[in-house]
Amino acid sequence: MEKPIQIRHAHLKDAEFIAQFNTAMAKETENKELDASVIARGVNAVFENPQYGFYLVAEADQQVLGSLMVTTEWSDWRNGFFWWIQSVYIRSDYRRRGIYSQLHHFVKKLAQQESNVCGIRLYVEHQNHPAQKTYASLGMSKTDYLLFEEEF
């Protein structure tokens, strides 16, 4: 019998797992090799600066199976914050078991408890059709926006 999945706020002790997950996600989704020391500093920065966001983890039997990060974006059109779900990763041996759905519902519940949160957003790779199907099944809809960026 499988152990039940628990969703909780991440702690600093989870930073190493989160950094490993971020490295794996970049490789799997974009075929990018990221600098492990930069990722470790970036993950730790979230714990040191709560205004940057927060992490949630899914665990069973004291093993971290997946994680995601939530950051905020102010919307003057809505006079509220959008919560952005980022850095989603579920260990490959635990995928397709509803773990992301549990994380998503946990984020949604937290967001709905806040009077100044107007919605949840995320971005997904164009070719990641399984993830897109999952997000749609959870009530999210594709927007008309395209994402542009300029890195420094």
pTM of the model: 0.92
Residue 76 makes CB contacts below 8 A (sequence gap 6+) with none
**Local structure of 5: helix, strand or coil:** coil
Query: Do residues 59 and 79 make contact, with C-beta atoms less than 8 angstroms apart?
Result: no
Hey, what domains does the chain have and what are their CATH numbers? 6-137 (3.40.630.30)
Residue 104: phi and psi, rounded to 5, are: -60, -50
Task: Identify residue 70 by its one-letter amino acid code.
Answer: V
Of 75, 82, 74, nearest in space to 107 by CA: 82
Of 152, 148, 139, nearest in space to 104 by CA: 139
pLDDT for 72-106, tens place per residue?
999 999 999 999 999 999 998 998 899 999 999 99
Partners of 6 in beta bridges: 59
pLDDT for 3-44, tens place per residue?
789 999 999 999 999 999 999 989 888 888 999 999 999 999
The secondary structure element, H or E, covering residue 85 is strand 80-90
